[in-house]
Amino acid sequence: MRSQDMSETSEGTNHRPKLFVDTVGCQMNVLDSELVIARLRSQGYELTDDPLAADTILFNTCSVRQHAEDKIYSALGRFKSLKKKRPNVAIGVLGCMAQKDQDEILKRAPFVDIVVGPGQLARVPELLEKARSEKTPQMAVSKARTGGTKLEVVDSFEEFDPIREQAMRSSPYQAFVRIMMGCDKFCTYCVVPATRGPEQSRDPAEIVEETRLLVDQGVSEITLLGQTVNSYKFRTGDGRQWRLSDLLTELSDIPDLRRIKFITSFPKDMTDDLLQAVRDLPKVFRYLHVPAQSGCDEMLRRMKRLYTVAQYDEMMARIRETVPDCAVSSDFIVGFCGESEESFEKSIELVRRSRFKNSFIFKYSPRPGTKAFELYADDVPEEVKKRRNNDLLAVQSAISQVDNQAFVGQEFEVLVEGPSKSFTGDLSAVSGPVQMAGRTMTDRICVFEGNSRLIGTYSKVRVVSASAVTLFAEVVTDRVTHGRPSAWTLPVIS
């Protein structure tokens, strides 16, 4: 978010309304923003990356940790003076924070025009319209989990997966597809079951149709999204019970769809049929993101994760046995309530023996409204959380560094996604090779010199060296253009 003098921009006249969207948080939010933008565009809005040029500024927010919320409140603070100078600019808070804080947002930032929870996003255009015409803030949130019958609560979290629009995705070749909404696990530290509501799986026919449409638009890699994506279940009208493995099989039949990834899995629901699908379906990534959260039984019990460390180990053994080359990544929370040095050491041991591809590590952040907030004291000091975070990360990085060396000399097919993070110029102004990035079927990032023509292709690369997070590679080709480094000759498109 840029913090410039808000007075710089003059009110535009006679132009399509301009929309600026700031998205934080998980992939679900990225998808939600894409869908909201598409909907507003269909109503005449035009997207801008300059908030000062915008008539409508939307924040799609995250409540998983306090830090994410603090950032949004301070960003909102910066827009207060803009709103004073240009009262016609509409400001909206969407997503998990809107559902969690509701009126609190209007108390802290009374200049906000719309507050819309993740289960009400279809109403964004209508609410913007109403806020403008009635000049009063509009709020649309879903029912609290205990705010009605199960059906009433479910109904209040409306499905929002409208027709996809190609122009709105950051990549023309990759897309997210939601297969589930909400979560029913109720881990004690987590706001998601409250903010995203009850678990609801989408009809497989709809998922297949949406994917076909995306493929028609040029997408060749999809990522299926769900908070506990492997808990997917849906009974169709003919009485058939669909599991994630069935959906993967069905999606695999779509011609021109080349890759299918799914995130995030819940350890207890890692069934054998799913592992066999990962093993047997060549289009499915050999990659599982299965958060462990802790390596200590007492912590897992307090977190209400519904499995023990032994069960997690058993799941890892089944993964390794069924799909030996499968990459596994994990999440950990350090400094959870009551985590002693000894408990923490157990997380270190779990990381050591599991040999994850990578781990996402978070310092526990108490969230009002959760069971952990109510039941347990946040008793691990911030410096201790910080140290444990660094220590666990260091152990994971050392493992990734060692394990990645095994790939040196090997060849992989990658989907070339675009220039690597280190590239900052205008790609169209470059005629020679630049550093490109792509992922393997085990979700490993490869970086290599390549021409921008490679973007969107499936190219073969050979790994020449590796760090803990990146495989450094060169493009493999049997057509070498003389006088140029072989690394940027024509792509091998298999």
Q: Of ligand SF4, ligand 5AD, none, which one sits near residue 228, judging by CB under 5 to 8 A according to partner kind?
A: ligand SF4
Contact between 116 and ligand 5AD by CB under 6 A: the answer reads no
DSSP state of 293: B
Q: Which is nearer to ligand SF4, 369 or 432 (CB)?
A: 369
Q: How many helices (H) and strands (E) does the chain have?
A: 16, 21
Smallest distance from ligand 5AD to CB 476, Å = 36
As given in the structure block, the two tokens for residue 430 are 């470059």
Binding segment for ligand 5AD (CB under 6 A), chosen from 74-82, 359-367, 405-413, 476-484, is 359-367
Alpha-carbon span 35 to 37, nearest angstrom: 5
* Partner whose footprint covers residue 367, from ligand 5AD, ligand SF4, none (CB < 5 to 8 Å by kind): ligand 5AD
Helix axes 341-354, 309-322, angle to 10 degrees: 10
**Strands, E, within 135-294: which ranges?**
138-140, 174-178, 180-181, 200-201, 221-225, 233-235, 241-243, 259-263, 287-289
Is residue 183 a contact residue for ligand SF4 (CB under 6 A)? yes
User: Rule CB under 6 A: is residue 76 a binding residue for ligand SF4?
Assistant: no
Window contacting ligand 5AD (CB under 6 A); options: 107-115, 280-288, 364-372, 405-413:
364-372
Q: 33, 36, 60, 65: which one contacts ligand 5AD (CB under 6 A)? A: 65
Q: Tell which one of 232, 266, 344, 364 touches ligand SF4 (CB under 6 A).
A: 266
Cα distance between residue 19 and residue 54, in whole Å: 5
- Which tokens belong to 99? 């559902």
How far apart (Å, rounded) are the C-alpha atoms in residues 109 and 23?
A: 18
Q: What is the CA radius of gyration of the chain?
A: 24
- Residue 38 interface partner, choices ligand SF4, ligand 5AD, none, CB cut-off 5-8 Å depending on type: none
β-bridge partners, 281: none
Binds 365, which of ligand SF4, ligand 5AD, none (CB < 5 to 8 A, cut-off by type)? Answer: ligand 5AD
For residue 264, the 8-state DSSP code is -
DSSP bridge partners of 20: 57
Round to whole Å and give the CA distance between 59 and 300: 33
Q: Which is nearer to ligand SF4, 211 or 294 (CB)?
A: 294
In the complex with ligand SF4, the residue whose CB is nearer, 176 or 472, is 176
- Give me the least distance between CB of 306 and ligand 5AD, in Å please: 14
The stretch among 185-193, 204-212, 268-276, 448-456 that binds ligand SF4 (CB under 6 A) is: 185-193
Q: Using the minimum distance from each CB to ligand SF4, give the nearer residue, 65 or 444.
A: 65
d(CA 1, CA 287): 33
Q: Which stretch binds ligand SF4 (CB under 6 A): 48-56, 181-189, 267-275, 482-490?
A: 181-189
Q: Which of residues 198-237 bind ligand 5AD (CB under 6 A)?
A: none
With CB under 5 to 8 Å by kind, the binding choice for 100 among ligand 5AD, ligand SF4, none is none
Task: Record the tokens describing residue 245, joined without a space.
Answer: 């493995």
Helices (H), 370-432: 371-375, 382-405
Give the DSSP H or E segment for 221: strand 221-225
CA atoms within a 13 Å half-sphere pointing along the CA-CB vector of 354:
36
Q: Binding to ligand SF4 by residue 187, rule CB under 6 A?
A: yes
Say if residues 467 and 454 touch (Cβ distance below 8 Å): no
Is the CB of residue 417 less than 8 Å from the CB of residue 171? yes
Closest contact distance (angstroms) between CB of 367 and ligand SF4 is 10
* Interacting residue with ligand SF4 among 186, 360, 373, 423 (CB under 6 A): 186
Interacting residue with ligand 5AD among 230, 265, 343, 365 (CB under 6 A): 365
Comparing CB distances to ligand SF4, the nearer of 193 and 450 is: 193
Residues from 288 through 317 that contact ligand 5AD (CB under 6 A): 291, 293
Single out the residue of 38, 40, 52, 64 in contact with ligand 5AD (rule: CB under 6 A).
64
Residue 363 beta carbon to ligand 5AD: minimum distance, rounded to whole angstroms: 6
Q: Could you tell which of ligand 5AD, ligand SF4, none binds residue 333, using a CB distance below 5 to 8 A set by kind?
A: ligand 5AD
Strands 358-363 and 56-61: unpaired
Tokens representing 408? 């040196």
Applying CB under 6 A, which part among 149-157, 213-221, 294-302, 358-366 lies near ligand 5AD? 358-366
Which of ligand SF4, ligand 5AD, none has residue 65 at its interface (CB below 5 to 8 Å by kind)? ligand 5AD
Distance in angstroms (rounded) separating the CA atoms of residues 31 and 212: 17
297-326: which residues touch ligand SF4 (CB under 6 A)?
none
Measured CA to CA in angstroms, residue 401 lies from 230, 297, 412, 438 at distances of 29, 28, 18, 19
Q: CA 301 to CA 317: how far, in whole Å?
A: 22
Interacting positions 227-256 with ligand SF4 (CB under 6 A): 227-228
409 conformational bin, left if phi > 0, alpha if psi -120 to 50, beta if neither: left
The contacts of residue 465 (CB under 8 Å, 6+ apart) are 408, 472
Could you tell me the two tokens for 339? 């985590």
Residues that bind ligand SF4 in the complex, under the rule CB under 6 A: 183, 185-187, 190, 192-193, 227-228, 266
Residues that bind ligand 5AD in the complex, under the rule CB under 6 A: 64-65, 189-190, 291, 293, 331, 333, 362, 364-365, 367
